[in-house]
Amino acid sequence: MKFHWKEQSKYVAEYHTDTVEFCSDGSMALCGSYELNSDTQERFGGLLLFSRVSTDYQYVLSSNISCSGVLDISWLNGNVAIGALANGSTKLWNCTIDGPSLNELIDFPVSDHILLSVDTSSDRFVFSDSGGNISVWKIDASSCSNPQSINKWPGHEFEAWCACLNKWNSEIVFTGSDDSKCCVWDLREGCKKPLNIIR
């Protein structure tokens, strides 16, 4: 089977692009960026909101904000997205193209390290960080408030670049790292050791 690729939209961001995520109906896309100033060691970046303006998937920049670098994004539900930030915190935004705007709903600290990834499943989030740690949080999904830590553990020896929740069973967490391990964890078992390690 042959594929034909065609560029639909193009945008040159001010900073390095780390993540692009489309909402479920394709009407919006978020782009997170991150850079490190090697002289000052300051981390910075931003979040760009693009909206689809035609049926042939042309997108235009609708809104942007500056913040600590955004290394990953996940859509929570509808118009709400969550970001993994370079300063170890996370933010939730309400994204609208009628306006358009990126409205911050909540901001809370997750780690003392750089957050590298975030994934969502209903009212739960899982984060991985540059210290190899994995964190699972829950939130009141209807109001996007009252964040609570469920568990945090040292999952890997090196940077944990990805973490995701099983979409059919949010007690199961998958993680991957520079230590060349893909681990499967069960929150009900306390995450003292992985259920399985794939090398």
Identify the structural domains of the chain with CATH numbers, from first to last. 13-109 (no CATH), 119-199 (2.40.10)
The mean per-residue pLDDT over the stretch 16-24 comes to 95
Share of the chain above pLDDT 70, in %: 99
Copy the structure tokens of residue 124. Answer: 């739960």
Share of the chain above pLDDT 90, in %: 75
pLDDT at 128: 98
143 within 8 A of 132, measured Cβ to Cβ: no
Task: Report, in this order, helix, strand and coil percent for the chain, each rounded to 5.
Answer: 0, 60, 40
Nearest CA among 29, 93, 94 for reference residue 62: 29
Per-residue pLDDT band for 23 (boundaries 50, 70, 90) equals: very high
* pLDDT above 80 for 99: no
> In this structure, is the dihedral angle defined by the CA atoms of residues 108, 113, 117 and 122, taken in order, positive or negative?
negative
Lowest-confidence region among 16-30, 76-90, 92-106 = 92-106
In this structure, the dihedral spanned by the alpha carbons of residues 21, 130, 138 and 24, taken in order and rounded to 10 degrees, is: 10
- The b-or-e profile of 72-111 (16+ CB within 10 A means b, else e) is bbbbbeeebbbbbbbbbbbbbbebbbeeeebeebebeebb
88 φ/ψ angles, rounded to the nearest 5 degrees: 85, 5
Q: Which residue has the tokens 């042939």?
A: 56
Per-residue pLDDT band for 33 (boundaries 50, 70, 90) equals: very high
73 within 8 A of 82, measured Cβ to Cβ: yes
How do residues 133-188 score in pLDDT, each as one tens digit? 999 999 987 788 899 999 999 999 999 999 999 999 999 999 999 999 999 999 99
* pLDDT above 90 for 120: yes
Distant-in-sequence, close-in-space partners of 136: CB < 8 Å, separation ≥ 6:
124, 125, 126, 127, 149, 150, 151, 152, 165, 173, 187
More reliable by pLDDT, 54 or 127: 127
Nearest CA among 94, 144, 141 for reference residue 122: 141
Q: Coil, helix or strand for 188?
A: helix
